[in-house]
Amino acid sequence: MNTGVLLIQLGTPDAPTTPALRRYLRQFLGDPRVIEAPRLTWWFVLNFFILPFRPRQSAAKYQRIWDPITGSPLLHWTRRQTEELQKALPNLPVAFGMQVGNPPLASAVRSLIERGVEYLLVLPMYPQYSATTTASATDVLFHALMHERRVPALRIVPPYYEHPAYLDAIAAVIRDDLARLPWQPEHYLLSFHGIPIRYAKSGDPYATHVKRTTAALIPRLGWPRAKWTQTFQSLFGREEWLKPYTERTLVQLAKRGVKRVFIATPGFTSDCLETLDEIGREAREAFQHAGGEQLHLCPCLNDHPVWIEAMKTLVVEEARGWIS
């Protein structure tokens, strides 16, 4: 069978500049899955209160994490994951596309169809389901397929928030990183991207998936209950989001006398702005300003060999009957 594999990642701006961020944020924040608000009202807020100011602020943050050779960390690691998964699945074409920005998901779909793919296995790079990420990814995918004359058969890997392969990969990355750390953490944080509480109350299962990931991950790590906290980060807007908040928790820990903290971000499969700058710089500064001393950010799954093998497992399991 002519089977192909498609990885879907959120996306990244083309450059760490104000014009590039304006294009990126216009597309990202214009997604009704991401911002659930009356469309006319939100259009006015986005175009007159956010886009005139936020792109410059965001560009400055991206400039801090932008690599002079590899560029966007999210794009770099997604490309590396695709390359390594292709090596692990040499008989299947593997491609990736972005929901927002470049390379666009529609181009990746087109390239696989042009290579003769008749059976398409899709792996969203979001372990925990949320309408803001997973459903948005499938929206973009289905929209792309609307423009194809020959649409392949389709299977989408379901959320893998408590799949053993994913959990084992997270645990392996954390253990490897802790083994290299020259000091012993006093407290551990598992920080996940947040969503508004309103979304969860409307039926989004994300918060439940996060709790189940954490519950399955902690026994693998062996952390005592008093030594870890699961938190949420990346707040946007004024409404209440899932709690406890990462930065606020770090400040509270510092004020309690905790000096050394280790943070992992299991919901992010690739390092990006939210991990490298939000946690690696902003959260660290807040922690140290409140009296903390050392905050270490654990790398994301990125191209760790155990994660590549886990991705292969997720694909092979879902593609039963499509690949030999």
Domain extent listing, the chain: 164-297
What is the DSSP-derived secondary structure letter of residue 98?
E
Average pLDDT over residues 247-268: 98
Q: What is the pLDDT of residue 181?
A: 97
Q: What is the mean pLDDT of the chain?
A: 97
Task: Give the DSSP H/E element, type plus range, for residue 228.
Answer: strand 228-233
CATH of domain 164-297: 3.40.50.1400
Q: What is the pLDDT of residue 118?
A: 97
Calculate the alpha carbon distances from 314 to 46, 165, 317 in Å.
38, 8, 5
Confidence of residue 324 (pLDDT cuts 50, 70, 90): confident
Distance in angstroms (rounded) separating the CA atoms of residues 104 and 11: 9
Average pLDDT over residues 183-208: 98
- Cα first-last separation, the chain: 9
Give the list of residues 6+ apart from residue 219 with CB closer than 8 angstroms, or none: none
> For 110-155, how does the pLDDT look when each residue is reduced to its tens digit (9 = 90+)?
999 999 999 999 999 999 999 999 999 999 999 999 999 999 999 9
**Token couple for 314:** 């997720």
- Strand runs labelled E in 113-225: 119-124, 153-156, 187-193
33 neighbors 135 (Cβ within 8 angstroms): yes
Say what angle helices 54-65 and 18-29 make with each other, to 10 degrees: 110
Question: Does the pLDDT of residue 22 top 70, yes or no?
Answer: yes
With CA atoms as reference, report the closest residue to 229 among 256, 207, 261: 261
Assessment of whether the complete model's pTM goes beyond 0.75: yes
Q: Kind of pairing, strands 119-124 and 3-12?
A: parallel
Distance in angstroms (rounded) separating the CA atoms of residues 11 and 272: 10
Distance in angstroms (rounded) separating the CA atoms of residues 228 and 174: 13
